[in-house]
Structure 1
Amino acid sequence: MVVRIDRVVTKGGDSGQTSLGDGSRVSKTDARIEAIGAVDEANASIGVLRTRTRGRPEDAILGRVQNDLFDVGADLCVPGQGGDRLRLTQAAVARLEAEVETMNARLPALSSFILPGGTEAAAFGHLARVAVRRAERAVLAVDDVNPAVLRYLNRLSDHFFVLSRVLNENAAADVLWVPGANRG
């Protein structure tokens, strides 16, 4: 499906309302709109992370995740089950689970919590993780959501936790580690 946007300024939201995918109008303070905005914010944070992963294998994964989040937004903008409009499936959740397992298998086991940070890329990964967690909480406040969306967002935050550790491990020579602290 090709999307065509002829006008950006429509003035349709000047009164504090916006349109959903089914054409209905709702307040911009509606829980569904908050959830869509939180998903958009998470997607933008991934875009920032991608400025630090260009040319690396992780960048292709992050690009796919950004497209998945567009599908999450499409799911959210249509109240109810949406019929054939639901785009996010359990296959996307399974893909994330497999990626988390693969990445985590190459990392040293954790014996304590870790502080977010390390390399710039890992720090941006942690920001993406918390943005995804916020989006997950916002989606929980919406009635009648595709159940795969909640599973996907839950797995995605785990994905960013592990990916941030991988980004630190890959650049271990450039990271200042505190003696005796766990690497992550």
Structure 2
Amino acid sequence: MKIYTKTGDDGTTGLQGGKRVSKSDLRIQAYGLVDEINSVLGIVLTHELDVDLKNLLTLIQNELFVAGSDLSNPDLASTKNRIVNPMILNLENHIDKFEGELAPLANFILPGGHKIASFLHLARTTTRRAETILVELSKSEQINPECQKYLNRLSDLLFVMARLVNKRTNTPDVIWKP
């Protein structure tokens, strides 16, 4: 099978269910950004990581693939490949666990520190951008609200993970100095 189909040469792409939309459609932008997050996490996973972080990021990559599928399917009656609440609860549990290793925040933190932390911050900001597009999309179309919650929690988790990598590698967080 060839990778190219030529069906998108007119600037449209197909959603699950066969509907064709513009490649600039908010839905396409949303799941494109989810794919971008996944790519940044792929970069993170090429580095040496503690096993708990590696396993969690691998799980998140798979869940992001589910999120992309979820967003590409405008038929909310379909339950196939949907983000569900237990996925969100898992992110929250990891946030709580990892925050237990960290000192409470006393300052604003700038992206940076260790290289891996910097990539996690990049993934976090891309996640925020995806969430913003998703919020805009939800004003005109129905989406699975769990996707929006998932992205919100994921950005929080990625922030905590960036701080955790800095701590575990004895790299100071970059403190904002007004």
**TM-score clears 0.5:** yes
Structure 1 Cα separation of the partners of residues 34 and 79 of structure 2: 21
The one-letter amino acid of 1:148's match is E
Deviation at 1:51, TM superposition (A): 1.4
Instruction: Note the 1:1-184 alignment, pairs <5 A.
Output: 6-54=1-49, 56-142=51-137, 143-172=141-170, 175=171
**Which string of whole-angstrom CA distances, capped at 9 and with x for unpartnered residues, describes residues 95-135 of structure 1?**
00000000001101111101111101111110010011111
Tell me how large the CA RMSD over aligned residues is.
1.7
TM-score, with structure 2 as normaliser? 0.91
Task: Mark the runs of 5 or more structure 2 residues left unpaired by the alignment.
Answer: none
The one-letter amino acid of 1:163's match is M
Deviation at 1:86, TM superposition (A): 4.5
The one-letter amino acid of 1:107's match is L
Deviation at 1:46, TM superposition (A): 0.8
The one-letter amino acid of 1:93's match is I
Task: Mark the runs of 5 or more structure 1 residues left unpaired by the alignment.
Answer: 1-5
TM-score, with structure 1 as normaliser? 0.88
Residues matched between the structures, number = 173
SS of match in other structure, 2:13: strand
Structure 2 Cα separation of the partners of residues 29 and 109 of structure 1: 41
- Identity across matched positions, percent: 39
Deviation at 1:57, TM superposition (A): 2.1
Contact preservation (8 Å) 2:13, 2:21:
yes
